[in-house]
């Protein structure tokens, strides 16, 4: 399970670290209480091109998850499980932003839908198209199924790397795929930090462990 994920996502993290992190995560999920579910959340206005948010400018109406998924007991339980994983990641790593997205069919086509998160308000939907991938790490990872870890955005850009800067405070980012039992990419997680070199092997191992568990709770 661990080796399969690392191979599919093309991530070079020691397998034993991920296995240990997975055991610790499973212990936490057994022993902790479920948090409250957020069925709606504030979202920002979008900048030119729609890829990035205009920080400090929130839309008047909150985004409603119930417009995209059934608001029933089963979905509520799964969303609570996902929020519990988000809370665990934040508590264990101190990451500044972390979100879980699921590939979802909408009236405007297949999109990444943000189900649970921690941090500043951000866009709730990302169109899963090649055109949008040019300006979105999330979409690039969702379409390719390959993890993307950048531990120094400034150096990465200076070396000629492509990176669409949405929040200038972000110095490191890890965007990792979620797979179903047939190894199809069905979503992503995205973590952002305001420090360079944030995503060490140990931190990545925890994020990968979460990626292995999260598909069980997608709606």
| pLDDT tens digits for range 132-145 | 888 788 999 999 99
Residue 44 lies in a domain: no
pLDDT tens column, 20-63? 999 999 999 999 999 999 999 998 887 666 656 666 688 889 99
Query: CB within 8 A of 38, min separation 6: which ones?
Result: 65, 79, 83, 116
Q: What CATH number does the domain containing 136 carry?
A: 3.30.450.40
The reported pLDDT for the residue numbered 172 is: 95
Number of domains in the chain: 1
* Domain assignment of residue 47, yes or no: no
Please report which confidence band the pLDDT of residue 13 belongs to, taking 50, 70 and 90 as the band edges: very high
The Cα 17–Cα 203 span in angstroms is: 9
Alpha-carbon span 91 to 35, nearest angstrom: 14
Residue 143 is part of which domain span?
2-38+72-217
In this structure, is residue 107 part of a structural domain?
yes
- Provide the mean pLDDT of the chain: 92
For residue 67, tell me if it sits in a domain: no
At 219, the pLDDT band (50, 70, 90 cuts) reads very high
Residue 57 forms part of a structural domain: no
CA distance 38 to 87: 13
> In percent, how much of the chain has pLDDT > 70?
92
For residue 39, what pLDDT is reported? Answer: 96
pLDDT tens sequence across 163-193: 666 677 899 999 999 999 999 999 999 999 9
26 falls within a domain: yes
């Amino acid at each position: 399970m661990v080796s399969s994920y690392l191979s599919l996502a093309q991530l070079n993290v020691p397998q034993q670290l991920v296995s240990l992190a997975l055991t610790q995560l499973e212990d936490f999920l057994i022993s902790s209480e479920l948090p409250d579910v957020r069925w709606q959340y504030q979202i920002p206005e979008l900048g030119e091109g729609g890829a990035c948010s205009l920080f400090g400018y929130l839309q008047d109406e909150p985004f409603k998850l119930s417009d995209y998924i059934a608001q029933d007991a089963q979905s509520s339980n799964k969303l609570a499980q996902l929020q519990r994983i988000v809370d665990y990641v934040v508590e264990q790593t101190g990451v500044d932003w972390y979100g879980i997205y699921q590939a979802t069919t909408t009236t405007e086509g297949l999109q990444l839908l943000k189900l649970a998160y921690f941090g500043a308000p951000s866009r709730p939907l990302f169109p899963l198209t090649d055109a949008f991938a040019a300006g979105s790490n999330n979409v690039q990872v969702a379409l390719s199924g390959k993890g993307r870890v950048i531990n120094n955005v400034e150096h990465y850009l200076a070396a000629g790397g492509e990176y669409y800067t949405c929040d200038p405070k972000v110095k490191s980012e890890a965007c990792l795929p979620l797979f179903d039992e047939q190894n199809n990419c069905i979503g992503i997680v995205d973590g952002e930090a305001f420090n360079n070199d944030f995503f060490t092997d140990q931190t990545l191992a925890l994020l990968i462990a979460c990626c292995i568990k999260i598909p069980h709770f997608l709606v």
